Amino acid sequence: MIDNKFKSILLSVQKPARYTGGEPGCVYKDKDNVDVRFAFCFPDTYEIGMSHLGMKILYDELNKQDYIWCERCFAPWTDMMAKMKENNIPLYTLESKTPLKEMDIVGFTLMYELSYTNVLAMLDLAGIPFYAKDRDESYPLIIAGGPCTCNAEPVADFFDIMALGEGEFLDVEICRVYNECKKQGLSKLETLKALSKIQGVYVPSFYDIKYKENKTIESVTPLYDAPVIVNKNIVKDFANLPFPTDTVVPMAGAVHNRAMVEVLRGCIRGCRFCQAGFIYRPFRERDKDLLNSGARDLCKNTGYEEVSLTSLSTSDHSKLEDLLDDMLPWTQQEKVNIALPSLRVDNFSESLIEKTTKIRKSGLTLAPEAGTQRLRDIINKNVTEEEIEKTAKIAFEGGYTHIKLYFMMGLPGETMEDIKGIVDTAQKIIDIFWSMPNRPKGKPEVSISVATFIPKPFTPFQFFGQNDGQLIKEKQAYLLECAKTNKRIKVSYNNPEESLLEAVLARGDRKLAPAILQAYQSGAMFDSWYECFNFDAWMKAFADNGIVPEFYANRFRPYDEINPWDHINYGVTKKFLIEDYERSLKAITSKPCNKQCYSCGANKLLGRACFEYSKN
């Protein structure tokens, strides 16, 4: 499988184990005994891709089908990419080392916009034409999934289909229909028509988009009977949805190398800046006994020393404390840590912290997101100052000394007062530490990490124009100025250029495709990696293709403008988003879904109410 020449190449690049496969838990099948060969591509490094729960779930789900063989593929790091090009080695799957070109379906998971150029790099390395229209039946079907597909219009021309929403059953259904078409020898067009009938399948080429002179969208016209609005797919009975209890255990240090169990899907909080909170609606939680037994099996089968209870907001699981009580005996006996990565400030109880600190003590992260109550109300981050202080106190009492706070800047309605509020919040936490008679040994440290706010589709802030780079720089400078006085406060923030690019791609339309391609061809790749980010290549590509970034990023979008994603339905309606945006302008908060339903529309996907309100 690996000859001398290839071995020599592998030994000349960093971390060769990224490119060899062979980890415990890999699935091998006989290629002659399967009908559909699926390459699951993650357009980032092995370490990042292998930390991604979605990939593990779909790998498991697809390989459960006898007729499908799903294999993995990641973006080779730049050193390996150069070597592969130099030696004419086409991009291959890790399990069988088959060139991607020979697969039936090549699926990319789009987790973040800044991985789009990596998709192009991978197609390029595989010798597959970029544009869907340039690929005939002899090429694999190129499909996309993952959260970005809620508006992947900027890359829509590169994909044959997009799978919207939750992939568990959807991907298998796509393979099933594809297989039938293949057996009947149908053309690519006929196959796409058949696939477009599946709920959650979006065929970009079946939508004709017309633009106005002012560059906004005039109309979106479906062709070939394709649905006018494409609905995302969801798993209705998430409570009883089994999850993989044996997964590939990555070899070369994955970022999150631990067992991961998804305790709930969706989020009840409705933070207005958070795309995940809206596109994963409605809220559904997994049965606690299923979670407990599955987590135990997963740890047993993989040998992991840590199990992470993941979700957007784990402490919102109604039976979380019971679940922890069930898990504590076996995790302690088997020396497994429990990690709760997404605790919320407002229901962070003492007994909860006790349960997790019994096992492990490290830094604690909290996300107040904004520095003043007024701004937190605008963004609907329903966390009060008292709650932050109380949490800090509990954390210090629990022995933590390092607290990390996450904030955003450039939020709607933000003033310089709010920027100062970020530092004030950190300062207060430090003051609390010193005021405690029973404080832990040592000195407190508060790190504040401030991200530039990026308005995203399907959020109430989808209309809002992002702060321009100049304003963000001024705010960052002011933040540093405020924080100068206290050495125990560490400040970090991200690059405004990167945020601008992300904002353009997030709410972009199909006119961006040639610019993205040009950016890639002139060297943009691994854009989310600081050391690779090439802003100049992007700006030149935009300019050469008549793209004005500000049009996409910084402009307020009137409610009646047709957005590039308006023909896609992720559950929440535009009507609801407008109402919620209006509420935010008046600093009126929205209650969590389990307290009050605002009829966002997501329950229609479920076919019933999200919660039984009589019980509350």
Q: Who contacts 126 (Cβ-Cβ below 8 Å, separation ≥6)?
A: 90, 91, 99, 100, 101, 106
CB of 592 to ligand SF4, least distance (A): 8
Pick from ligand SF4, other proteins, none: which does 539 bind, CB < 5 to 8 A by kind? Answer: none
Q: Does 2 bind other proteins (CB under 8 A)?
A: yes
**DSSP symbol at 550:** H
Pick from ligand SF4, other proteins, none: which does 602 bind, CB < 5 to 8 A by kind? Answer: ligand SF4
Pick from ligand SF4, other proteins, none: which does 138 bind, CB < 5 to 8 A by kind? Answer: none
Query: Residue written as tokens 């399967």?
Result: 34
**Could you tell me if 269 and 592 are in contact, meaning their C-beta atoms sit under 8 angstroms apart?**
yes
Element (H, E) at 452: strand 445-452
Single residue of 78, 301, 494, 594 touching other proteins by CB under 8 A: 301
CB of 72 to other proteins, least distance (A): 14
Which residues, in sequence order, are bridge partners of residue 262? 310
CB of 156 to other proteins, least distance (A): 37
Which residues, in sequence order, are bridge partners of residue 217? 211, 562
Burial degree of 502 (CB within 10 A; 0-12, 13-18, 19+): buried
| CA 456 distance to own-chain centroid | 12
CB of 416 to ligand SF4, least distance (A): 34
DSSP for 482-511 reads HHTT-TTEEEEE--HHHHHHHHHHHT--GG
From the list 449, 53, 458, the residue with the least C-alpha distance to 270 is 458
Q: 231 φ, ψ to 5°?
A: -90, 145
Pick from ligand SF4, other proteins, none: which does 305 bind, CB < 5 to 8 A by kind? Answer: other proteins
Single residue of 40, 108, 304, 348 touching other proteins by CB under 8 A: 304
Pick from other proteins, ligand SF4, none: which does 251 bind, CB < 5 to 8 A by kind? Answer: other proteins
Pick from other proteins, ligand SF4, none: which does 603 bind, CB < 5 to 8 A by kind? Answer: ligand SF4
Nearer to ligand SF4, 97 or 591 (CB): 591
Nearer to other proteins, 20 or 603 (CB): 20
Nearer to ligand SF4, 282 or 508 (CB): 282
CB of 295 to other proteins, least distance (A): 15
Nearer to other proteins, 88 or 616 (CB): 88
Which of these segments, 182-190, 250-258, 428-436, 604-612, binds other proteins (CB under 8 A)? 250-258
Q: Who contacts 192 (Cβ-Cβ below 8 Å, separation ≥6)?
A: 160, 161, 203, 205, 206
Single residue of 63, 115, 247, 302 touching other proteins by CB under 8 A: 302
CB of 5 to other proteins, least distance (A): 7
Q: Does 22 bind other proteins (CB under 8 A)?
A: yes
CB of 264 to ligand SF4, least distance (A): 13
Q: Who contacts 375 (Cβ-Cβ below 8 Å, separation ≥6)?
A: 411, 413, 414, 418, 421
Nearer to other proteins, 19 or 159 (CB): 19
Q: What is the pattern of x (binds other proteins, CB under 8 A) and - over residues 332-351? A: ---x----------------
From the list 450, 278, 260, the residue with the least C-alpha distance to 341 is 260
Nearer to ligand SF4, 329 or 607 (CB): 607
Q: Does 8 bind other proteins (CB under 8 A)?
A: yes
Q: Does 308 bind other proteins (CB under 8 A)?
A: no
Q: Which residues bind ligand SF4 (CB under 6 A)?
A: 281-282, 593, 597-600, 602-603, 610-611
From the list 354, 352, 229, 245, the residue with the least C-alpha distance to 300 is 245
CA pair distance 356, 99, nearest whole angstrom: 45
Binding-site size, other proteins (CB under 8 A): 31
Query: Residue written as tokens 């790998």?
Result: 59
Written as six digits, the tokens of 498 are 């990167």
Single residue of 101, 300, 358, 604 touching other proteins by CB under 8 A: 300
CA pair distance 511, 134, nearest whole angstrom: 18
Cα radius of gyration (the chain): 24
Nearer to other proteins, 6 or 529 (CB): 6
For residue 293, count other CB atoms closer than 10 A to its CB. 14
Per CB under 8 A, residues contacting other proteins are 1-2, 4-5, 7-12, 15-17, 19-24, 26, 249, 251-253, 300-305, 335
